């Protein structure tokens, strides 16, 4: 070691504060980076066509216990257990296609056991009791 000069600064660093800051890195000059960017020409990729498959939303089964039967009779509403990842728009279109009825409203809730319960309110010109008989609920 020469007089007054440290050979390696990292060995003699003293922590004067709680946070220990690292020494700054030496960056490449910006001109060199620009030259590299200009030298490499971007390769044009063919456009990728993405085909989205429609998600199959299946009603697992209709509920046939006492409270859904009251909903059918009093509120003109059918109750189903469905796929938990389905949204209201998918459920509405699925019920419309399967049972050929118009739906006025769809309400969903996730039960404590992790299944999704769906309340499908039918349009006033359809009777939920007739549809339930056609499905085989009653």
Per domain, the residue ranges of the chain are 59-135
Q: Which CATH architecture has domain 59-135?
A: 2-Layer Sandwich (3.30)
Residue 61 has what pLDDT? 83
Q: What is the edge-to-edge ordering of all strands in the sheet holding 116-122?
A: 59-62, 77-82, 116-122, 103-110
pLDDT along the chain (138 residues), means of 10: 53 66 62 66 66 60 90 94 90 90 95 94 95 87
Locate 68 and state its tokens: 């859904």
Largest CA distance in the chain: 102
Read off the tokens for 13.
């660093």
3-state DSSP assignment of residue 102: coil
Please state, in angstroms and rounded to a whole number, the distance separating the CA atoms of residues 26 and 23: 9
How do 59-62 and 103-110 pair as beta strands? unpaired
Q: What is the pLDDT of residue 98?
A: 87
pTM: 0.58
The pLDDT, as a whole number, for residue 126 is: 94
């Amino acid at each position: 070691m020469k007089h007054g000069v440290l050979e390696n600064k990292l060995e003699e660093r003293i922590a004067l504060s709680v946070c220990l800051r690292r020494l700054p890195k030496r960056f490449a000059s910006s001109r060199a980076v620009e030259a590299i960017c200009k030298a490499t020409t971007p390769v044009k990729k063919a456009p990728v066509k993405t085909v989205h498959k429609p998600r199959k939303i299946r009603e697992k089964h209709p509920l046939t216990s006492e409270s859904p039967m009251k909903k059918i009779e009093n509120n003109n509403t059918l109750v189903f257990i469905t796929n938990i990842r389905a949204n209201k728009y998918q459920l509405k279109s699925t019920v419309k296609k399967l049972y050929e009825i118009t739906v006025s409203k769809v309400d969903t809730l996730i039960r404590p056991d992790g299944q999704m319960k769906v309340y499908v309110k039918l349009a006033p010109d359809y009777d939920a009791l007739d549809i339930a008989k056609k499905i085989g609920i009653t």
